[in-house]
Copies of this chain bind each other. A is one copy, B any other.
Amino acid sequence: MATQSPGSFESDVLARSVGHTSIRIPQTQPSGAADRIDQIGTVVAFPKNSQLYGEGDTSTYLYKIVSGFGRSFRTTTEGGRQIVCFYVPGDLFGFEVGDSHTLSAEVMTDSKVRMIRRNSLVSAAAQDEDVAHQLWLCVNREIRRTQEHILQFGRPARTRVASLLLEMARRIPAVEVEVLSISRQDIADYLGLRIETVSRAVSRFVKLGAITLSGNRKITIRNPSVLAQLIS
């Protein structure tokens, strides 16, 4: 709705950019204000691209991003990869029905991740109403993220790319803005496209003046409304 003059603002890849996107950031919770959930478990530092868990691993922990970014995915027998979700600070994930993981997860950058034993969290929730409330919110957010992802498919390629750019801009907290650099391959695997297709979409957005690039992975959204209307 409220657009803003292009070029008034700079931010990093998938950074929140202008106008309404930036003001929505608080939704992703300032990540630690007074959440009791953040008293449980241990924060562990993971180096870029390291694995949190793999498909088939025993599911012992839930994971909450403190700083950095994560992705969950499944690899296919033919070497393909479908990314199911990107995670940003404040996101809790790793939920499983059974006792083993059905997806893999990695951090995308050097990250700090709070690891919380499933058992601990469930019993903490039984004791502490605040923890229960936070946990409930987190699982509902996970459901929502995944549902929104599904809504992207079945749209044309450039629409999906535009959506992803806007969504990440909205979700990434201001503090983290400078950090994330996401590869074309990650974008492609998230959207179910080939990297060439993603590249062509990005090029088109540049020509339209919707975004600018500085370095391959630094995307600055100059004119969100152009992207938004591609989605329509």
Hey, which bits of chain A sit against chain B, CB under 8 A? Answer: 74, 77-78, 80, 82, 84-85, 95-97, 102-103, 122, 125-126, 129, 132, 136-137, 139-144, 146-147, 149-151, 153-154, 192-193, 232
Task: Give CA–CA (A78, B232) in the complex, Å.
Answer: 9
Quick one: closest B residue to A192, CB to CB? B154
- B residues near A85, Cβ cutoff 8 Å: 147
Of B78, B95, B150, the residue contacting A150 (CB under 8 A) is B150
B contact residues around A78 at 8 Å (CB): 232
Asked if A102 and B140 sit within 8 Å, CB to CB, the answer is: no
Find the B residue at minimum CB distance from A146. B146
Whether A232 contacts B77 in the complex (CB less than 8 A), given A137-B97, A140-B96, A192-B153, comes out as: yes
Taking CB atoms, residues of chain B closer than 8 Å to A96 are: 140, 144
Q: Can you list 29 A-B pairs with a CB-CB distance of less than 8 A?
A: A77-B232, A78-B232, A82-B150, A82-B153, A82-B154, A84-B147, A84-B151, A85-B147, A95-B143, A96-B144, A97-B137, A97-B140, A97-B141, A102-B144, A103-B147, A125-B132, A126-B129, A126-B132, A139-B139, A142-B143, A146-B146, A146-B147, A146-B150, A149-B150, A150-B150, A153-B153, A153-B192, A154-B192, A154-B193
Shortest CB–CB separation between residue A157 and chain B, in angstroms? 12
Q: Can you tell how many copies of this chain the complex includes?
A: 2
Task: For A147, give the chain B residue with the smallest CB separation.
Answer: B84
Most chain B C-beta atoms within 10 Å of own C-beta, residue among A85, A125, A150? A150
Kindly report which residue of chain B lies nearest to residue A135, judged by CB atoms. B136
Q: What residues of chain B lie closer than 8 Å to A144, measured between beta carbons?
A: 96-97, 102
Q: Kindly report which residue of chain B lies nearest to residue A27, judged by CB atoms.
A: B97
Closest B residue to A150 by beta carbon equals B84
Q: Closest CB-CB distance, A14 to chain B, in whole Å? A: 20
Closest to A96 in B: B140
Q: A97-B141, A122-B132, A154-B193 are in contact. List 7 more A-B contacts (CB 8 A).
A: A80-B154, A84-B147, A84-B151, A95-B139, A95-B143, A139-B140, A150-B153
